[in-house]
């Protein structure tokens, strides 16, 4: 098996490691970097439990090779909170009861983060479309939508205070 050295920024920290050419990003994150927030779900890109932010785009890390991420910026759920303070999407999921079993939550949080970066004031329809690639088998999505709306409002409030 062929290996390569890969270097990338993960949650704002430069990380460098040897990986086999066929190592998926999800396995690199979980097994080599011990970042177990992204979950291994279907391994076919259908569920979204492994969603991470890669260079400003939501990707399912079960479909990306680690070597493809050379020089990239990767954000996982572990990188959302800053200084022990929950990000607005994390706070929203907590306040609006946007999770039940929690299996989909890490991917849903990262996808919600990117959705709000790209569209700070989404409609309910836009939220539902934006998270449609992430499956939740427990909640029926009602509270997830409320959580994202909550986060959008909090982010907008924080932006107006800092402006």
Task: State residue 139's pLDDT score.
Answer: 85
- How does DSSP classify residue 65? B
The pLDDT of 65-77, averaged and rounded, is 98
Angle of CA points 77, 156, 39, to nearest 5°: 15
The pLDDT of 58-79, averaged and rounded, is 98
Note the pLDDT tens digit of each residue in 132-147. Answer: 999 999 988 999 999 9
Q: Which is higher by pLDDT, 51 or 162?
A: 51
Cα torsion 122, 125, 131, 132 to 10°: value is: -160
The CATH architecture that domain 88-162 belongs to is Orthogonal Bundle (1.10)
Q: How many CA atoms lie within 13 A of 147 on its CB side?
A: 29
Q: Using alpha carbons, select from 70, 90, 149 the residue that is nearest to residue 116.
A: 149
This prediction has a pTM of 0.95
Task: State residue 160's pLDDT score.
Answer: 86
Domains 3-77 and 88-162 share a fold: no
Note the pLDDT tens digit of each residue in 16-52. Answer: 999 999 999 999 999 999 999 999 999 888 999 999 9
CB neighbours of 131 closer than 8 A, spacing ≥ 6?
108, 111, 112, 115, 141, 144, 148
Task: State residue 101's pLDDT score.
Answer: 93
Fold of 3-77: Ubiquitin-like (UB roll) (3.10.20)
CB neighbours of 152 closer than 8 A, spacing ≥ 6?
88, 116, 120, 121, 122
152 pLDDT more than 90: yes
Domain assignments of the chain as residue spans, ordered by start: 3-77, 88-162
Q: Using 50, 70 and 90 to split pLDDT, how confident is the model at 11?
A: very high
Note the pLDDT tens digit of each residue in 107-125. Answer: 999 999 999 999 999 999 9
Separation between Cα atoms, residue 58 and residue 78, nearest integer Å: 15
Task: State residue 140's pLDDT score.
Answer: 85
């Amino acid at each position: 098996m062929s290996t390569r050295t890969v270097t990338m920024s993960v949650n704002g920290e430069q990380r460098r490691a040897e990986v086999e050419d066929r190592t998926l990003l999800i396995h690199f994150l979980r097994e080599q970097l011990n970042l177990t927030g992204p979950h291994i779900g279907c391994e076919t890109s259908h569920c979204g439990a492994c969603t991470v932010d890669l260079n400003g785009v939501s990707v399912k890390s079960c479909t990306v090779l680690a070597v493809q991420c050379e020089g990239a910026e990767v954000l996982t759920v572990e990188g959302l909170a800053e200084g022990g303070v929950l990000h607005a999407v994390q706070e929203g999921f907590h306040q609006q009861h946007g999770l039940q079993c929690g299996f989909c939550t890490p991917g849903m949080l990262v996808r919600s983060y990117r959705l709000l970066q790209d569209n700070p004031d989404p409609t309910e329809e836009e939220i539902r479309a934006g998270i449609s690639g992430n499956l939740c088998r427990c909640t029926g999505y009602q509270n997830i939508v409320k959580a994202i709306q909550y986060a959008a409002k909090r982010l907008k409030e924080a932006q107006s205070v800092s402006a």
